[in-house]
Structure 1
């Protein structure tokens, strides 16, 4: 059985258009280094920082709140809605999801979607932007592959062709507007926790600790949770469904990734709105989509009905 892309992801991968649209300039590469390495440095410094100056409940609550808002912006917005068309949404909800995803500091929505659609079009083959299997299967090759899949690919200069992989988003004025606001939203995701921390504690130090924990450290943790889906979930785990690649379920990441770590079903059926389809597989993103549907904010949700799962199982035989 081979996994098939449908909806927006399938429609954008046809035709003779080139895979890349050029190379990133030096300025963009410098920004990538800053937004990847600075939060990571904050994560490394987190323990001695906590020991030396303390961590407050305000920092924890703000960190969890911003982690959930921005993380769900990626999993529900960037991934399930914009990339795969797992459900349709009201215009205001589309904008909110694009804003929330942008505040995860993982790139503007159109670039993120183009990269991810390319990932599915060439999953674990040449052309996949972040497969861990591109260098071989020996220990050294897998170590290199893990680094590449986890974060090394971010530093490459080749730019995915947005016209080929995301023409629908390029034609959406609202998404294009949010895309242009990415620098401002990046600043907001770091400064808003500081502002709230300062106001709640009514102190400059409260603003500083909130900036560190709910800003930098929260961004770094979310980065590595998302990147682990690219690396770990294509290397180890269970594969109850057959797909054309090595996508696997890695249960320890299920909660932190809001259900994205149930990665095997996703690659077997990319447009499905729920990834954790078996009993006990908690999928927070799917539950939020369910709530959106109940409120009438989302519709045409592609749920994993028994008939849909039976078709996937039949293809795997």
Structure 2
């Protein structure tokens, strides 16, 4: 006798789905009050070195932004620095949006092996953590979005002005300082089984050093001067990392607080158009939470989505296959009766 079908949560989509005989069956459930014997959301506390690294990755680039204006006043910034910063921002930013997010977390397309490895490398150059940790945190976010268990919801402290201020800080940066690690075996079993990704995850520190000091090396070689190396290190290294950090964190914070909500989602995700260009389309966040595995987030007229265009490019060259593009039927299922502003 065939047992009845049960519902589990797809780790890529963060939504309830029928169970199936897949290798990634150890996936998160929708509520923290899970069935007996379920794997916990967290797997212990971070050690002191890991905690100090988090503080360093967050605070040092932020400090660079604070001193950027007086540093630039009258000297120390040129077109070479801007060009190098632009190239590194695009590589590391798309590594996060196309690689860490749409590919590794949600399976919006299939990538061949070289593209898979390159996306892991590019994403780790954003200095937002190793790929498996990043993916596990984000799948946990989708499984419990804006409810208890979400690692970075801005609504966890209430709706008063002080509570929202505290919630904004928590969603934007504060959650990074918590010492709990998301359980990777529960939220990213597929990546733990991938030798290529495990190898890249272990050498995250290598790509961190390349991302921080690589721009200075390029600047020095281009200008053939120590000053060119120093200014490129500062602007294209530290400041570029800080800018990308805050753009990414703004999707966690701002895009769950204000903006348009034209699609039906089970949380408070919203579209915030001012971030669309800098985030490569990630700030069309309402559609993403309504349909997490969709390869394009900006699906309405005028919604620029550079990450989706990159995936289209990969598909044209045969590097990406089975792309989950939106269609009329798919959008009709999640279309809200009316766009809702704010909460």
The TM-score bracket by the shorter chain reads over 0.9
The runs of at least 4 aligned residues of structure 1 exceeding 4 Å deviation read: 4-7
The answer as to 2:112 corresponding to 1:90 is: yes
- Cα displacement (A) at 1:306: 1.0
Relative distance call for 1:230 and 1:159 in structure 2 (3 A) is same
Correspondence for 2:208: 186
Q: Map Cα deviations across residues 182-219 of structure 1 (whole Å, 9 max, x no partner).
A: 11110010111011000000001100000000000000
Correspondence for 2:179: 157
Instruction: Return the index of the structure with the highest Cα Rg.
Output: 2
Correspondence for 2:260: 238
Relative distance call for 1:142 and 1:301 in structure 2 (3 A) is same
Alignment gaps of 5+ in structure 2: 1-7, 15-24, 30-34, 339-343
1:68-83 map, 5 Å: 68-83=90-105
TM-score normalised over the length of structure 2: 0.89
- Cα displacement (A) at 1:311: 2.2
Alignment gaps of 5+ in structure 1: none
1:266-281 map, 5 Å: 266-281=288-303
Distance 1:186 1:268 in 2: 33
Q: Map Cα deviations across residues 40-97 of structure 1 (whole Å, 9 max, x no partner).
A: 0001111111115320100000001100000000000000000000000001100000
User: Which one has a larger percent strand, Structure 1 or Structure 2?
Assistant: 2
Counterpart selection for 1:13 from 28, 37, 41 = 28
Q: Tell me: higher relative CO, structure 1 or 2? Use CA pairs within 8 A at least 6 residues apart.
A: 1
The answer as to 2:276 corresponding to 1:224 is: no
Q: How many residues align?
A: 314
Distance 1:311 1:137 in 2: 30
The answer as to 2:165 corresponding to 1:143 is: yes
1:21-100 map, 5 Å: 21-100=43-122
Distance 1:25 1:315 in 2: 48
Coordinate RMSD, CA, aligned? 1.7
Q: Map Cα deviations across residues 103-137 of structure 1 (whole Å, 9 max, x no partner).
A: 00000000000000000000000100000000000
The answer as to 2:270 corresponding to 1:248 is: yes
TM-score normalised over the length of structure 1: 0.96
Contact 1:196 1:207 in 2 (8 A): yes
